[in-house]
Amino acid sequence: MHVLKQHAQSRAAALSTINVSRRGFMKGASGLALGLYIAPLLGRNGQARAAGDNGEFAPNAFVRVTPEGEVVVIAKHIEMGQGTYTGLATLVAEELDADWSSVRVEGAPADTQRYQNLAFGIQGTGGSTSIANSFEQMRQAGAKARAMLVGAAAERLDVPPGSLSVSQSKVIHEASGRELGFGELAEAAADQPVPDEVTLKSPEQFTLIGKQRLMRQDSPAKTDGSARFTQDVQLDGMLIAVPAHPPRFGSRLTGVDYAAALEVPGVVASVRFPSPTRDGDLVAVLATNTWAAIKGRDALTLEWDDSQAFTMGSEALEADYRERAGQPGDTVTDRGDASAALNEADQVIEADYVVPYLAHAAMEPLNCVVDLQDDHVNILNGEQWQTLDQQQVAKLLDLPPEQVRIQQLFAGGSFGRRANPVSDYVLEAAAIAQAARDQGQAVPIKMVWTREDDTRGGHYRPFNYHRARLALDADGNLTAWHQRLVGQSIMTDTPMESMMVKDGIDPTSVEGVAELAYGVPSLNVELHTPSDIGVPVQWWRSVGHTHTGFSTESLIDEAAVAAGQDPYRYRRERLHERPRWQGVLDLAAEKAGWSTPLEGGAEGGAEGVKRGRGIAVHESFASYVAQVAEVSVDADGQLKVDRVVCAVDCGLAINPDMVRAQMEGGIGFALAAALHSELTLDDGQVQQSNFHDFQVLRLNEMPEIEVHIVPSAEAPTGVGEPGVPPLAPAVTNAIFAATGQRIRRLPIANQLKG
C-alpha cells in the first residue's frame, strides 16, 4: 500500500490544481463551482472566481455542487460503454466524501487547454488512459472541494476545521452533533481560498475506490431511455443527411441524376459537396427523417471514375504482402546476432501469421450533428477526439478553433473509430452542413451513416502479414527470434505522423513484438510499411497489440511444443525478469486448473469431441493480462469456446466490477474477430456490409468467463483494451492442444472443417 501512497505524493505537486470560478457563479446559480487546472500550465494557485454574473460555469471545472447538494462531476473523457463516467466520479467522490447517490456526471465541452488528456497532451479519449491519466487529477479536485466545504462549515459553526469530519455529503461536528449538508455550504464555500496543497487519502481510508457493486453512473439513464446519444438529438428545423460514398477507395464522382431521389416523400434536397477526406466531390440527400434520407440516397443515379481507385483484391493483396515478407525490411529491433543463432540452431521454427482487415462495428454507426451559424458552429457528437476534430473543423470552415463548440454526448461504442486521425466523419458532417447552407438550407444537419456505410466506409484495423523464424538449442531454449511484419501504418498521412513515425517506423505497427518480453538473446524485428495500398486504416481496440499478441503468443507456444515442454511453464521460465507477467500467468493457470487434466481431452470424448486448453499472456497499455481458454472441437470440426479464465494486473482497480466488465467485453470482442470477423476485397470493393456477413459474436457463442484481478498498490492502468490481445492465441493454442492443428491465420472460420 505504501507504493501507491508514495507515488501519489510524488506527483501531487505536478498535478496541483487551481480554481477558476467563484462568487459570480454563486450569484447566478447558487452552486459551488471548482475549476481545476494542472499547475505547471498556469504556474499559480488562487481564489475561486466566477465565469459570469449569470452563473455560467467556466469550462475546466471538474466539480460542481448545487444548492440541493448534488455533486456534479465534469468528465473530460467520453462514456462509450467502458465505465469512464463512473471511474472519474469515483475518484472525485472518494476524496470529497460524497454520497454516491447524490453524484452525477456531465460530459465536458471541447476545450483542450482545460481538459487535455495528461497522457498525450490533447483532449481526447484513447489508449486506455482515461482513469490512469486522471487518477491524481480528479482526486485532487475532490480533495480541494472538500477542504473548501470544510472551511465554510468551520466559519459557520465557529469551530476549528480540524474538529470537523466529512461523510456522505455532510460536514459533521461530532462534539456538538451539528452537521451541514454540501448544498447548505455551497455559496459560502465558493468564497474560500483554494488550498495550495491537500493530503490525499491513503488506500486504507478508501470507501469507494476498489469497492464492489458501485452503481454505474450511466446505467439509470440508459435504462430509462433518457441517455442522449447523437441519434437522439432533435433540433428545430433539423434535416437528416445521408451521404453516398464511392464503391471503391479512390473513386471520383463524375455524374449525378437527382430526379428519383427528389421524388421520395420526405426528401428536401440533395447537396454536392467537396469531400474533406476523400477524392473529389460527394453527394448527400437531405430529408426530414432518416428513412427518407436513406431511401433518397439509394435512389440517386451516380457515375464514378475508377481510374485512380484502389482495385486490388484480398488474394492479390496477400500475395503482395507475402512477397514483401521475403525481403529485408526496416530495422525495428536488432539485439544480438539472430542470423548466426538461426544458422547454428538445433531446431528452427518457421511460420507465417496472417490477420485481416477489421471494421470496428460499434452498435451505433457513425453520426454527427452540425449546427452552423454565421460566426461559430455547434457540434453534438459522441465525441472521442475533441482537439483534433475541433482543429480540423475550424480549418475546414475557416473559423477560430474556439468557435467550434463541441458538446460531448454518449456514444454507443467506438473501439477507436470515433477517434479518427483525420476526423473523417466529423469533417464530412461539417462539409455537408456548409454546402447545405450555401444552397439555401441554413438549418442544423444530422449526418447519419447506415450500418452498410459504416462497414464499407474504411478506416479499418490493418491487414497484417507476419513471417517469423525462431531458433532453439538442444535443450529447447530460445536463442533467436526473427520476425518481419508487413502492414499499413495508421499514422501515415495524419496530423500525428511527424510526432509518431521515426525513421519510417510507426511504433503502433510493432508494439508488442519490438519489446518482446521473453528473454531471447538475439531479437531481430523488421517492418515493411506499404505506402501504395489505398484502403484507409486506423487504430482498432488495442491497436498493434491485436496482431502482434496473436503472432508472438502463438509462436512461443510453438516453441514450447517443439521443446517438448509445458506451454505455461515454458513461458514462465522466460519471464523471470518480468514479475507482473509471471503474476497474471500464475493466477490464470491456477484458477483455470492448468495442472488438472481437462475432461474429454485431446483423445476425444463423447461423440468424438476433443477438448484442449491454451494459454497466452500479454502486456498492453501498461496492464498485464493472461488468459486460459478451454475449447471443444467435435467430429465435424465445429469449434466451441467453452471457458475463458482471465487474470489482470491493472494496478489499483478503481471499480473492480468495471474491470471485470471490460475484460469480459474485450474477450467477447476479440472472440468475434478470432472466430468470424473479416473484411475482404474483390476488385477493390469491400464485400461485407452488415452483421450477417461481418459477423459479431452471438449470444450462444459467449463462453463462461472468469476474471481475477491481481491485488495491487500500483497506480491504475488501462482496462478498456488489454483484454483483447491474449484471447485469439489462447483459443488457437487450445485448438492445437485439442486437435494438433496449428491455426496461423484469423479468422478461424472453417479451418477446422474438412
Residue 60 — pLDDT band, cuts 50, 70, 90? very low
Q: Both 294 and 389 in a single domain?
A: yes
Q: Both 117 and 176 in a single domain?
A: yes
**Residue 55: pLDDT over 70:** no
pLDDT of residue 533: 98
Identify the bridge partners of residue 151 per DSSP, sorted by sequence position: none
Edge-first strand order for the sheet with 267-274 is 267-274, 281-287, 239-244, 445-448, 367-372, 377-381, 404-408
pLDDT of residue 190: 85
Q: How many residues in the chain?
A: 754
Q: Both 17 and 55 in a single domain?
A: yes
pLDDT of residue 61: 62
Predicted TM-score of the model (pTM): 0.92
DSSP string, 184-228: HHHHHHTTSBPPS--PPPPGGG-SSTT-S-PPPTTHHHHHHT---
- At a CB cut-off of 8 Å and minimum separation 6, what does 519 contact? 478, 574, 575, 576, 577
Question: Is 157 inside a domain boundary?
Answer: yes
Domain finish residue from 175, 199, 224: 224
Measured CA to CA, the distance from residue 748 to residue 676 in angstroms comes to 7
Domain finish residue from 170, 195, 224: 224
pLDDT of residue 746: 98
Measured CA to CA, the distance from residue 659 to residue 704 in angstroms comes to 17
* Planar angle of CA 186, 187, 192, nearest 5 degrees: 90
Q: What is the pLDDT of residues 483-533, one digit of tens each?
A: 999 999 999 999 889 989 999 999 999 999 999 999 999 999 999 999 999
pLDDT of residue 605: 72
Q: Both 584 and 638 in a single domain?
A: yes
Rounded mean pLDDT of 533-556?
98
Q: Both 735 and 657 in a single domain?
A: yes
**Residue 49: pLDDT over 50:** no
Question: Is 259 inside a domain boundary?
Answer: yes
Q: What is the pLDDT of residues 595-626, one digit of tens each?
A: 999 988 777 777 889 999 999 999 999 999 99
Question: Is 683 inside a domain boundary?
Answer: yes
State the number of CA atoms in the 13 A half-sphere of 706 facing the CB: 15
C-alpha 487: how far from its chain's center?
21
Q: Which range among 56-65, 216-225, 369-378, 514-523 shows the weakest confidence by mean pLDDT?
A: 56-65
**Domains held by the chain: number:** 3
- Type of residue at 608: G
**Residue 117: pLDDT over 60:** yes
- 278: which DSSP letter? S
**Cell numbers describing residue 2:** 505504501
Rounded mean pLDDT of 147-176?
96
Question: Is 432 inside a domain boundary?
Answer: yes
Q: Both 562 and 443 in a single domain?
A: no
Residue 347 sits in a domain whose CATH number is 3.30.365.10
Domain finish residue from 415, 448, 481: 448
**Residue 19: pLDDT over 50:** no
Q: What is the pLDDT of residues 72-109, one digit of tens each?
A: 999 999 999 999 999 999 999 999 999 999 999 999 99
Task: Please state whether 701 falls in left (phi above 0), alpha (psi between -120 and 50) or beta.
Answer: alpha
Question: Is 748 inside a domain boundary?
Answer: no
Question: Is 321 inside a domain boundary?
Answer: no
Q: Both 353 and 370 in a single domain?
A: no
The bridge status of strand 377-381 relative to strand 170-173 is unpaired
Give the rounded percent of residues in the chain with a pLDDT score beyond 70: 92
Domain that holds residue 135: 2-224
Q: Both 607 and 538 in a single domain?
A: yes
Q: Both 595 and 505 in a single domain?
A: yes
- Average pLDDT score, the chain: 91
Give the number of other CB atoms < 10 A from CB of residue 474. 9
Q: Both 383 and 298 in a single domain?
A: yes
Rounded mean pLDDT of 214-220?
94
Question: Is 749 inside a domain boundary?
Answer: no
Question: Is 745 inside a domain boundary?
Answer: no
Q: Both 599 and 682 in a single domain?
A: yes
Computed over its alpha carbons, how large is the radius of gyration of the chain?
28
Residue 37 — pLDDT band, cuts 50, 70, 90? very low
Q: Both 556 and 636 in a single domain?
A: yes
- Roughly how many angstroms between the first and final C-alpha of the chain, as a whole number? 55
Q: What is the pLDDT of residues 243-301, one digit of tens each?
A: 999 999 999 999 999 999 999 999 999 999 999 999 999 999 999 999 999 999 999 99
pLDDT of residue 133: 95
